[in-house]
């Protein structure tokens, strides 16, 4: 809660009630919008955003931010997500068409990029915000992985980026100078035990970003990964121990955990021309977490536990 004069009471990331004393000492209140104003960063640009499932999805926030910045796009998700019905509201809000495509299916992706071409001609950006750890979901320890599930995890969470880029390039769908962004997690570079097989998937994803980055450079197309803080989403909360990892991030990071809305703001800068010389990077968007060893908050918590 934030008290100032007039009093502001935050009720969510984007809205705030403001109480103030009007003339004749009458208490008024109004609701005002706290969203970051658009800067037209994606004005005239078109793209495809993969992975918005519900309001908590990082891709949902990215779609809202891209729309705010003037971008227009197709929303895509796996056909199995259709029955959940959540995407219609986002499509309406962002004036987008939804094209269902399993990101592990070349056939679905070919159809998607043909449809994107029919709608927009060439596109300027692609966002890959897709992930699923099958063994993690089924509580299989890293030392006891079911290899069929492991394969599926890698296929959905990492190889899908390769497939998406390959299909987009084969369809000559991406304009020279375009930008591709994929979502990653620091568990791809350091061991976060409960992240298990997903650490391998993110390591592969980040490697694909580098390997494809070289090939795409000839066309001036950029590709980067954003390594995001733990974020409360469907995929995030499917990981055992997520709350502990979230709290650890909160206690270690000087700025605290980055939320989905700030990740979305960062993403649109990478999709914009302002970052036209940035490619093949894994860029940390984590409130400073990756550069920390231990924080005073954690030292104090451990000292309390040790009774010293």
Q: Which of 94, 179, 224, 233 binds ligand NAI (CB under 6 A)?
A: 233
Alpha helices by DSSP H, the chain: 58-68, 87-93, 106-120, 134-137, 147-154, 160-170, 197-217, 234-237, 242-252, 260-271, 296-306
Q: Tokens for 171?
A: 């369809």
Nearer to ligand NAI, 171 or 239 (CB): 239
Binding of residue 63 to ligand NAI (CB under 6 A) = no
Instruction: Pick between residue 60 and residue 120 the one whose CB is nearest to ligand NAI.
Output: 60
d(CA 231, CA 229): 6
- List the one residue from 67, 150, 185, 195 that touches ligand NAI (CB under 6 A): 185
**C-alpha closest to that of 279 among 215, 200, 185:** 215
Q: Are strands 123-128 and 282-285 parallel, antiparallel or unpaired?
A: unpaired
Q: Are 170 and 45 in contact (CB under 8 A)?
A: no
Q: Which of 67, 150, 195, 212 is catalytic?
A: 195
- Given 48, 116, 156, 209, the residue binding ligand NAI (CB under 6 A): 156
CA dist., res. 178 & res. 18, Å (int): 42
| Binding test (CB under 6 A) with ligand NAI, winner from 48, 49, 53, 123 | 53
State yes or no: cis peptide before 6, omega within 30 of 0.
yes
Which position among 235, 251, 261, 270 is part of the footprint of ligand NAI (CB under 6 A)?
235
- Annotated catalytic, 17? no
Contact status: 167 vs ligand NAI (CB under 6 A) = no
Instruction: Report if residue 102 touches ligand NAI, rule: CB under 6 A.
Output: yes
Stretch that binds ligand NAI, among 7-15, 98-106, 216-224, 297-305 (CB under 6 A): 98-106
Q: Per rule CB under 6 A, is residue 249 in the interface with ligand NAI?
A: no
| Annotation says 195 is catalytic | yes
Is residue 265 involved in binding ligand NAI (CB under 6 A)?
A: no
Which residues are known catalytic residues?
A: 185, 195
């Amino acid at each position: 809660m934030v008290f100032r004069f007039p009093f502001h009471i935050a009720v969510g990331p984007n809205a705030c009630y403001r109480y103030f004393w009007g003339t004749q000492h009458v208490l008024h209140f109004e609701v005002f919008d706290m969203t970051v104003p658009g800067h037209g960063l994606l004005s005239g640009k078109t793209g495809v955003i993969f992975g918005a499932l519900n309001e908590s999805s990082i891709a949902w926030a990215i779609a809202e931010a891209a729309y705010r910045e003037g971008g227009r796009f197709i929303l895509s998700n796996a056909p199995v997500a259709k029955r959940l019905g959540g995407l219609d509201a986002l499509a309406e809000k962002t004036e987008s068409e939804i094209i269902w495509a399993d990101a592990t299916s070349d056939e679905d992706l070919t159809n998607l990029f043909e449809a994107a071409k029919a709608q927009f001609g060439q596109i300027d950006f692609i966002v890959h915000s897709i992930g699923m750890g099958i063994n993690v979901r089924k509580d299989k320890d890293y030392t006891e992985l079911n290899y069929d599930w492991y394969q599926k995890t890698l296929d959905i969470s990492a190889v899908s980026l390769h497939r998406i880029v390959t299909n987009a390039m084969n369809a000559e769908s991406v304009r020279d100078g375009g930008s591709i962004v994929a979502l990653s997690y620091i568990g791809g570079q350091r061991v976060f035990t409960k992240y298990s097989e997903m650490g391998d998937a993110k390591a592969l994803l980040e490697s694909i970003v580098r390997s494809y980055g070289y090939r795409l450079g000839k066309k001036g197309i950029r590709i980067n990964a954003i390594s995001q803080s733990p974020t409360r989403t469907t995929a995030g909360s499917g990981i055992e121990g997520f709350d502990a990892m979230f709290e650890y991030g909160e206690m270690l990071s000087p700025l605290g955990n980055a939320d989905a809305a700030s990740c979305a703001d960062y993403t649109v800068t990478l999709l914009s021309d302002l970052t036209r010389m940035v490619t093949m990077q894994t860029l940390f968007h984590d409130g400073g977490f990756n550069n920390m060893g231990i924080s005073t908050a954690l030292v104090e918590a451990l000292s309390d536990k040790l009774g010293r």
